[in-house]
Chains A and B, each alone.
Chain A
């Protein structure tokens, strides 16, 4: 088996067995359907508000699914002192990182799928398949940022602090896009997270996906994910990561 897949499979199994973390990630992913469901009882004829809220919670779900696995995958390896034994294998650090990234991205995608399934069940609103697929780069970006942050931390507690802050990114950017008049400017469609919010909101209203915008934001998202991964790979080459300094 290719080392990248070997690492990804191990991280997936290890992450899945951490039941407390899995349940916590699932609850966070379902928080959106839960909150929007409660709000829908309180206000009537407010589709615009509900859809806007749904789009923001969907963005957040793409990030929360992978947080615990990312925390454990690098910062946890350092804390439990299993990073040095792992680095002793004849596998490049980039391959190890890519395997961990794919595993984290799979958990992000699972969180996103759970969130969309919750909304579909409660409100019978689902984004078109093409839009759902176009959210996968968002999961890859979330995973790359989470892995990068995890490489900067010495232990799980520190990683937990910074990764919790990262989840504010989709929340803040999503809310900004919902309420800001600048959201109508065309270039926002190509900004990662912001562009996704616009697409999700439009999709949940029943509008046809904009292929150019989907392609553009997908490309921009992958570029940012690549930069985050390169930063993580660079960090993993530094001596203090090995020496726990």
Chain B
């Protein structure tokens, strides 16, 4: 469960976040929907402990970074900033490296990696250097790295960007399985159809603020719109006027 409260982030003179607040419960896929520059990536980077906010706080399973930023990172897995793999290492080596940094004990490490390789259907590529991988294979490896320590909370920043249709479908299946197992998943995208297809709840971000939050049906009802696209436009336009 992730609770984000009044996050503010300034990069020089640019205000990236101006008080973002939302709640992402367990067993639910929460979509962060917003135009480019709305603050989705910055929010996710703060939640996973890579950036520090200027104000506000993040609680992950009730734990705050004030208990030590590393305590938060143990509870979160993330696939941010594209795949970002080491081209000369194999998926098995990348997962082992990640598992060691998560301090997974040696007797459990090999079993966990085999389990992940099977879960992601990576048996045929597990021992090939990632340098020549397709986007789908890269995505699976990056997802494996995010899941290696069995986090209860999973953050994904535009994970389908550059993926072909079979890979997108495979990713959706994997995320639904993780959700059904009780994980809290936060998924950012600027593609409305994608968010609609996958997310149970949606948080609309505009100009560094969370301007609406709820299920797709709730958002349409509150905006008085027939579809999610119209609801999105209505909420973001209202935020534009307010800004």
Chain A residues engaging chain B, CB cutoff 8 angstroms = 1, 3, 6-7, 10, 13-14, 17-18, 80-92, 239-240, 242-243, 245
Contacts and interface: CB of A to CB of B under 8 A. Distances in A.
B70 interface: yes
Contact of B76 (A84, A86, A88): A88
Given A6-B101, A239-B51, A242-B50, A89 B86 contact: no
Interface string B118-138: 000000000001000000000
Nearest to B145: A85
A85 B101 contact: no
Given A89-B101, A90-B70, A242 B51 contact: yes
Contacts, number: 81
A85 B81 contact: yes
Contacts of A81: 81-84
Nearest to A243: B11
Contacts of A82: 84-86
Interface residues of B, number: 35
Interface of B: 11, 45, 48-51, 70-71, 73-74, 76-89, 93, 97-98, 100-103, 129, 142, 145-146
A222 to B, nearest CB: 27
Contact of B84 (A6, A18, A80): A80
Nearest to A18: B88
B89 A13 contact: yes
A86 B71 CA distance: 16
A14 B86 contact: yes
A188 to B, nearest CB: 42
The residue among B51, B71, B129 with the most chain A CB atoms within 10 A of its own CB is B51
